[in-house]
């Protein structure tokens, strides 16, 4: 049968990610191809630390754990690496090969052992999940270990409590040290898990080139458990996000879950009947999504049974239920074009 081949231009027109609009160092960039990306990166690399790092308000008390809380210490470095969106070269749902280049230069957070002595594992998308309980203090030693993109990056957390020193956001003349961590530099963030921090939250780059670098993969999750709260038997964080041609230089936009597209590449989640399961779904691009899991429903926070809730950029929804339905199930974004672009995976339940 006749192939409906997609040339670059027409596909870009069809994809959600036609172009990215970014503000870097106050200049607006419209990034729609590899050359634009190079120009945006050059601008980001040219920025030097704002001279008058903010002294508006100083003398913040040093954050400490609450009584009975612990210090949870992490060593995390940011680095770029080549990343394959389609390692299996197949869409396992539709049982077909997928051809074409699928590797791009990603920017990722990598967990290290104490003192940055050695990697704890390979650098992947998403970055390490930081876990703590209410009352704990997250102490995150962060190093910008990238020597390729030459840009200041940061870690900006959601959900936890922090004073302005640990916001991890570039703010022009008001930038503090933790909001501009240049290649080779280190900074230690101190984030408190307060009672209103209970939940699952994203963290991500918020440096001067945050839009591009976050979309490249500089994101991860923080889980704050209630003090003594029950930890689910099976807990997974799923980031929904597009990897688009402006960011990847590839021909095709891919609708991803945790940096991968199409079932078999995206996480295959293995569960067992009787388990207390929690799937935390976080939007991590410019689109709104909704998360559907076949064969299951769960109570949302408002007390309604749902199986396809909406989730926006950097918002989290949690599907928590006791597993009772053995079999192989699809999970996917229910925006049809996202689902068809790869935002789907397997959830397999054993008896």
Looking only at residues 116 through 175 of this chain, which bind a copy of itself when binding is defined by CB under 8 A? 156, 158-159, 161-164, 167, 169, 171-174
Least Å from the CB of residue 140 to a copy of itself: 16
Instruction: Report long-range pairs for 301-308 (Cβ below 8 Å, ≥24 apart).
Output: 308/334
Using CA atoms, how far residue 308 sits from 76, 129, 186, 328, in Å, is 34, 24, 41, 18
Six-digit token string for 152: 């200041």
Contact between 63 and 131 (Cβ < 8 Å): no
Least Å from the CB of residue 236 to a copy of itself: 19
Does position 307 bind a copy of itself by CB under 8 A? Answer: yes
48 vs 118, beta carbon nearer a copy of itself: 48
98 vs 145, beta carbon nearer a copy of itself: 98
Does position 267 bind a copy of itself by CB under 8 A? Answer: no
- What pairing do the DSSP bridges indicate for beta strands 234-243 and 276-283? parallel
13 vs 274, beta carbon nearer a copy of itself: 13
Does position 300 bind a copy of itself by CB under 8 A? Answer: yes
Contact between 59 and 232 (Cβ < 8 Å): no
Strand partners, 88: none
Does position 205 bind a copy of itself by CB under 8 A? Answer: no
96 vs 231, beta carbon nearer a copy of itself: 96
Does position 227 bind a copy of itself by CB under 8 A? Answer: no
Least Å from the CB of residue 118 to a copy of itself: 33
73 vs 350, beta carbon nearer a copy of itself: 350
Does position 299 bind a copy of itself by CB under 8 A? Answer: yes
Least Å from the CB of residue 263 to a copy of itself: 9
Among positions 66-125, residues that touch a copy of itself (CB under 8 A) are 91-98
Does position 203 bind a copy of itself by CB under 8 A? Answer: no
Least Å from the CB of residue 110 to a copy of itself: 23
Q: How far apart are CA 248 and CA 328, in angstroms?
A: 32
Least Å from the CB of residue 51 to a copy of itself: 10
Among positions 9-28, residues that touch a copy of itself (CB under 8 A) are 10-11, 13-15, 18-23, 25-28
Least Å from the CB of residue 348 to a copy of itself: 8
- Residues in contact with a copy of itself, counted by CB under 8 A, come to a total of 105
**Spatial CA neighbour of 152 closest among 129, 131, 134, 179:** 179
**Spatial CA neighbour of 297 closest among 328, 319, 275, 281:** 319
Contact between 282 and 239 (Cβ < 8 Å): yes
Does position 329 bind a copy of itself by CB under 8 A? Answer: yes
163 vs 182, beta carbon nearer a copy of itself: 163
What are the helix (H) ranges across 15-73? Answer: 34-46
Contact between 92 and 262 (Cβ < 8 Å): yes
Contact between 83 and 217 (Cβ < 8 Å): yes
**Spatial CA neighbour of 314 closest among 287, 293, 344, 284:** 284
Q: How far apart are CA 305 and CA 302, in angstroms?
A: 9
36 vs 185, beta carbon nearer a copy of itself: 36
Least Å from the CB of residue 71 to a copy of itself: 21
Q: How many CA atoms lie within 13 A of 334 on its CB side?
A: 10
Does position 177 bind a copy of itself by CB under 8 A? Answer: no
Could you report how far apart the first and last alpha carbons of the chain are, in Å? Answer: 42
Does position 292 bind a copy of itself by CB under 8 A? Answer: yes
């Amino acid at each position: 049968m006749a192939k409906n081949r997609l040339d670059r231009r027409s596909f870009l027109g069809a994809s959600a990610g036609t172009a990215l609009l970014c503000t870097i160092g106050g200049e607006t960039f419209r990034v729609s191809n590899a050359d634009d990306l190079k120009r945006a990166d050059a601008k980001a690399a040219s920025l030097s630390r704002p001279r008058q790092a903010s002294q508006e308000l100083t003398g913040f008390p040093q954050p400490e754990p609450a009584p009975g809380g612990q210090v949870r210490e992490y060593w995390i470095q940011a680095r770029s690496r080549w990343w394959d969106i389609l390692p299996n070269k197949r869409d396992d749902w539709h049982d077909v090969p997928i051809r074409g280049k699928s590797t791009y230069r990603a920017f990722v957070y990598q967990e290290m052992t104490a003192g940055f002595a050695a990697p704890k594992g390979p650098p992947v998308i998403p970055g390490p999940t930081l876990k703590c309980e209410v009352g704990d203090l997250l102490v995150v030693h962060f190093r910008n270990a990238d020597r390729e993109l030459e840009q200041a990056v940061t870690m900006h957390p959601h959900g936890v409590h922090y004073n302005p020193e640990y916001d991890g956001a570039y703010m022009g003349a008001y930038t503090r040290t933790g909001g501009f961590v240049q290649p080779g530099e280190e900074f230690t963030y101190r984030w408190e898990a307060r009672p209103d921090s209970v939940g699952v939250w994203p963290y991500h780059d918020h440096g001067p080139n945050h839009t591009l670098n976050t979309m490249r993969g500089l994101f991860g999750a923080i889980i704050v458990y209630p003090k003594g709260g029950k930890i689910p038997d099976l807990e997974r964080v799923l980031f929904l996000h597009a990897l688009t041609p402006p960011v990847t230089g590839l021909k095709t936009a891919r609708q991803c879950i945790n940096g991968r597209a199409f079932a078999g590449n995206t996480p295959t989640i293995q569960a067992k009947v009787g388990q207390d399961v929690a799937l935390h779904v976080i939007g991590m691009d410019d689109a709104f999504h909704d998360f559907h899991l076949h064969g299951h429903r769960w109570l949302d926070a408002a007390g309604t049974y749902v199986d396809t809730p909406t989730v926006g950029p950097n918002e989290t929804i949690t599907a928590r239920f006791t597993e009772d339905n053995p079999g192989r199930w699809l999970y996917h974004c229910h925006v049809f074009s996202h689902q068809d672009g790869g935002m789907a995976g397997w959830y397999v339940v054993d008896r």
